[in-house]
Amino acid sequence: MTEAIRENFMSVQQKLYEGKAKILYTTDDPEILLTHFKDDATAFNAQKRGQITGKGEINCVIATQLFQLLEAQGIPTHFLERPALNQMLVKKVKILPVEVVVRNIAAGSLCQQTGLPVGKILPTPLVEFYFKNDELGDPLLTRDRLLILELATPEQLNQLKEQALTINQILIATFNQCGITLVDFKLEFGVSSNQELLLADEISPDSCRLWNQSETDPNRRVMDKDRFRRDLGNVEAAYQQVLERIMSIRW
């Protein structure tokens, strides 16, 4: 790891935080952090744990490609550079404790909580906010709860929704180009030292539901973390397929 960083005239200082899928390190620039993507996989609030070989590299490369594509279309992100396959240099931000979920097709908790059938195309994209809090099990928030808890300002909340919908349009078109349907996905945002709201964390098969358009079988079409969650097998192969298709896009 240090070799790649040294080439960038930047040294890793210390581990700042270790999460379920990534480790964050400080660098000698106080405004820049290094994210190391791990092969570890967790689901159901970390009750299910495992490893997906090569996931760290695959997700980091996919996320890099998508961040660059979004930046090119005017979405500010925390991405700076990818010094190694599984490492990303990012702008230091204060992450808002809110998970922004965008849904185009009903799946997962939306179906469990509302009874909507899996696969139902939603009339308009649905933007939801979840409290990023493992102890509470990441509960769904209402707008008023989010504001009462001061998880974001009203201005930030409007911006989050607007950005999420714009990102959704860009990602739908991008995945469509490679024969993949974007069912739903989760975003995280952070505030930089100059108070800019930046898209942060990652966009990858860990954080999106992606269905292969050339498969109709509900299990075979899954190209995302649901393969791990639901023990569908061939997780690495599915992630690798997403990577290959994303990298083949010209933009």
* Residues lying near ligand UDP in the complex (CB under 6 A): 99, 101, 107-110, 138, 184-186, 207-209, 225
Q: First-to-last CA distance in the chain? A: 30
Tell me 5's DSSP state.
H
Closest residue to ligand UDP using C-beta atoms: 108
Q: Measured between alpha carbons, how far is 154 from 144 in angstroms, rounded to an integer?
A: 10
Distance of closest approach, residue 250 Cβ to ligand UDP, in angstroms: 26
Take residue 179 and report the two structure tokens written for it.
Answer: 């024969």
Q: Measured between alpha carbons, how far is 244 from 166 in angstroms, rounded to an integer?
A: 24
Q: Measured between alpha carbons, how far is 195 from 239 in angstroms, rounded to an integer?
A: 34
Tell me 116's DSSP state.
P
Pick 19 or 233: Cβ nearer ligand UDP = 19
Distance of closest approach, residue 210 Cβ to ligand UDP, in angstroms: 8
Distance of closest approach, residue 175 Cβ to ligand UDP, in angstroms: 12
Pick 53 or 114: Cβ nearer ligand UDP = 114
Q: Measured between alpha carbons, how far is 251 from 91 in angstroms, rounded to an integer?
A: 24
Strand segments, DSSP code E, in the chain are 12-18, 22-27, 32-37, 40-43, 48-51, 79-84, 87-91, 93-95, 98-105, 121-131, 140-141, 180-192, 197-200, 208-212
Distance of closest approach, residue 201 Cβ to ligand UDP, in angstroms: 9
Pick 24 or 140: Cβ nearer ligand UDP = 140
Pick 46 or 249: Cβ nearer ligand UDP = 46
Q: Measured between alpha carbons, how far is 209 from 222 in angstroms, rounded to an integer?
A: 8
Contacts of 82 (CB under 8 A, 6+ apart): 60, 61, 64, 88, 89
Pick 8 or 108: Cβ nearer ligand UDP = 108
Pick 4 or 180: Cβ nearer ligand UDP = 180
Distance of closest approach, residue 10 Cβ to ligand UDP, in angstroms: 29
Pick 74 or 139: Cβ nearer ligand UDP = 139
Count of all residues that appear for the chain in the document: 251
Q: Are 100 and 197 spatial neighbours (Cβ–Cβ below 8 Å)?
A: no
Distance of closest approach, residue 200 Cβ to ligand UDP, in angstroms: 13
Distance of closest approach, residue 7 Cβ to ligand UDP, in angstroms: 31
